[in-house]
Amino acid sequence: MAKRVTGPEIEKLIQLLAKVPGLGPRSARRAALHLVKKKDQLLGPLADAMGEAHRKVRICSCCGNVDTIDPCTVCSDERRDHSVLIVVEDVSDLWALERAGAMNAAYHVLGGTLSPLDGVGPDDLNIKGLVQRVANGGVRELIIAVNATVEGQTTAHYITDQLEGMEVKITRLAHGVPVGGELDYLDEGTLAAALRARTSI
Amino acid sequence: MAKRVTGPEIEKLIQLLAKVPGLGPRSARRAALHLVKKKDQLLGPLADAMGEAHRKVRICSCCGNVDTIDPCTVCSDERRDHSVLIVVEDVSDLWALERAGAMNAAYHVLGGTLSPLDGVGPDDLNIKGLVQRVANGGVRELIIAVNATVEGQTTAHYITDQLEGMEVKITRLAHGVPVGGELDYLDEGTLAAALRARTSI
């Protein structure tokens, strides 16, 4: 803004809000105004929730999930089958798979994928922790649920190599047509994979 | 989520973030994860900024702008020409006009437009304050910069009526082709207005 039209505290709030993914400079301004208008219903509670999250949040030392307790809610849930580990790239993938609600397993968050071009090597990911968890025993199956990208597949191969000789079944997510997806819009690779993995009705 | 995968503090943060305009339930989750990952660079400062805004923010008793001081930064700016008042619906319009930087005037925020269907009458808007400001003298021109909607125009007419007999020039924003706009995409009303208000080159 050429001239100041509001206090520096509000300008600062707008600048910080603009760094939140999903908000840009323009929507940050809109968001800030909305928050200020709903001062007591939204701005205050949100400030408190952020402060509390900032004080309490930690990364689970076992699986890498984000939580306020360590071990996290998932790792300390005794109703889960901890002999099945779902290996994911990011915490958001863990949450997404949990929303699907298809498995009652435990997780392991890698924190990314191997990417030599970006300087991400095995030591930058939580792979040693995974090998350790499997070596400690009690893990029956490892479901490698990384993204179907080149980096994801490279990472999956690397993990498989690291676990060679250990008593664990390693699986990966099925490729195929997304539920509700239209064939016309799908790429050839997905269609070919779906045809190869066809099932009888 | 069917099963809890993270602490209640983080769930609460996600729920509150989802109420911020521009974020929905899905992007709130993404935003929360990003904030938590950038705990010290973003989450902490944002929590502080929100807390400070919550404590300090107030509505300017003179013009209705949002600020941390009262009278606000605009009203207390002595380099502005306070004999020209730009009347806007909302604080966001004030900020937008200031970004344009075309005028060095003062403002008056109505807080909405007359809308009998939504139960918004003259007493729900900051119209009395505007009449009072004009009656106090020193205001030479009133630029009514409300939205070009039916409600906006109704409000403009109402304000003009209220100020009848007072020594003040009342103007409104020009209608015309937006700068950078293509004629083909404009509605007939705008094109007709732009033709009627044509200027010589």
Give the contacts of A97 (CB within 8 A, at least 6 positions apart).
Answer: A86, A88, A103, A107, A145
Q: Residues B33, B27: contact at Cβ < 8 Å?
A: no
User: Which residues in chain B have their CB less than 8 angstroms from residue A35's CB?
Assistant: 20, 50, 53
Give contacts of A74 with chain B, Cβ < 8 Å.
5
| For range A138-149, the mean pLDDT | 93
pLDDT at B1: 44
pLDDT at B136 over 50: yes
The single residue listed with the structure tokens 């908000």 is A23
Where is pLDDT greater, at A1 or A94? Answer: A94
A-contacting residues of B 95-114, CB under 8 Å? Answer: 95, 98-99, 101
Is B77's pLDDT higher than 80? yes
Distance CA B191, CA A107 (A): 60
Residue B169, classified by CB atoms within 10 Å of its CB into exposed (0-12), middle (13-18) or buried (19+), is exposed
Query: CA-to-CA distance for B166 and A2, rounded, in angstroms?
Result: 33
Mean pLDDT, all residues of chain A: 92
Q: What are the sequence ranges of the domains in chain B? A: 8-56, 80-172
**How far apart are the C-alpha atoms of B57 and B186, rounded to whole Å?**
40
CB atoms within 10 A of CB A165: 6
* pLDDT for A140: 94
CA separation for the pair B30, B32 (Å, rounded): 6
Strand order through the sheet with A141-144 = A105-109, A81-88, A141-144, A169-172
CB contact under 8 A, B6 and A101: no
Predicted confidence (pLDDT) per residue in A98-132, tens digit = 988 888 999 999 999 999 899 999 999 999 999 99
Q: Tell how far CA B27 is from the center of its chain.
A: 25
Determine the residue type at A42. L
What does CATH list as the number for B80-172?
3.40.1360.10
> What is the C-alpha to C-alpha distance for residues B107 and B104, in angstroms, rounded to an integer?
10
| Partner residue facing A4 (CB), from B39, B66, B73 | B73
Tell the residue number behind the tokens 């009203």, with chain if given: B75
Interface contacts A/B by beta carbons within 8 Å: 200
**pLDDT confidence bin for A3, thresholds 50/70/90:** confident
For residue B1, how many other CB atoms are within 10 A of its CB? 12
* Cα-based angle A49, B48, B77 (whole degrees, multiple of 5): 130
| Interface contact A67-B42, CB threshold 8 A | no
Q: Are A151 and A159 in contact (CB under 8 A)?
A: no
Nearest to A23 among B2, B12, B22 (CB): B22
pLDDT at A2: 57
Other beta carbons within 10 angstroms of residue A44's beta carbon come to 17
pLDDT score recorded for residue B2? 58
Are A9 and B73 a contacting pair at CB < 8 A? no
Q: Could you tell me which of A99, A170, A87 has the C-alpha nearest to residue A126? A: A87
Choice between B44 and A200, residue whose per-residue pLDDT is larger: B44
CA B169 to CA B183: how far, in whole Å? Answer: 32
Q: Is B58 on the interface with A (CB under 8 A)?
A: no
Computed from CA positions of residues B74, B76, B77, B81, in that sequence, does the dihedral angle turn out positive or negative? positive
Using CA coordinates, name the residue in chain A closest to B102.
A2
Helical residues (DSSP H) of A2-90, grouped into ranges: 8-17, 25-37, 44-56
Does residue B55 register a pLDDT over 70? yes
Q: Is B10 on the interface with A (CB under 8 A)?
A: yes
For residue B46, give the DSSP letter. H
Distance of alpha carbon A60 from alpha carbon A17, whole angstroms? 27
Question: Are B74 and A64 in contact, with CB atoms under 8 Å apart?
Answer: no
CATH assignment, A74-172: 3.40.1360.10
- Which one, of B61, B56, B73, B41, lies nearest residue A9 by Cα? B56
DSSP element (H, E) containing B146: none
CATH architecture of B8-56: Orthogonal Bundle (1.10)
Report whether pLDDT(A23) > 90: yes
A54-63, A187-196, B60-69, B104-113 — which is least confidently predicted? A187-196
Distance between first and last Cα of chain A: 63
Taking residues B44-71, report their average pLDDT: 94
* Mean pLDDT of the B86-100 span: 93
Chain B residues whose CB is inside 8 A of the A46 CB are 13, 16-17, 20, 50
Looking at residue B94, its pLDDT comes to 94
pLDDT band of B41, cuts 50, 70, 90: very high
Question: Quick one: pLDDT at residue B139?
Answer: 94
Taking CA atoms, what residue in A is nearest to B3? A98
When pLDDT is cut at 50, 70 and 90, the band that residue A1 belongs to is very low
Residue with tokens 């350790």: A132
List the 123-152 stretch of A: residues with Cβ below 8 A of B.
Answer: none
Equal CATH topology for B8-56 and B80-172: no
CB neighbour list of residue A147: distance below 8 Å, 6 or more residues apart = A89, A93, A113
The size of chain A, in residues, is 201
- Tell me the torsion sign for CA atoms A17, A19, A23, A28: positive
Band the pLDDT of B199: cuts 50, 70, 90.
confident
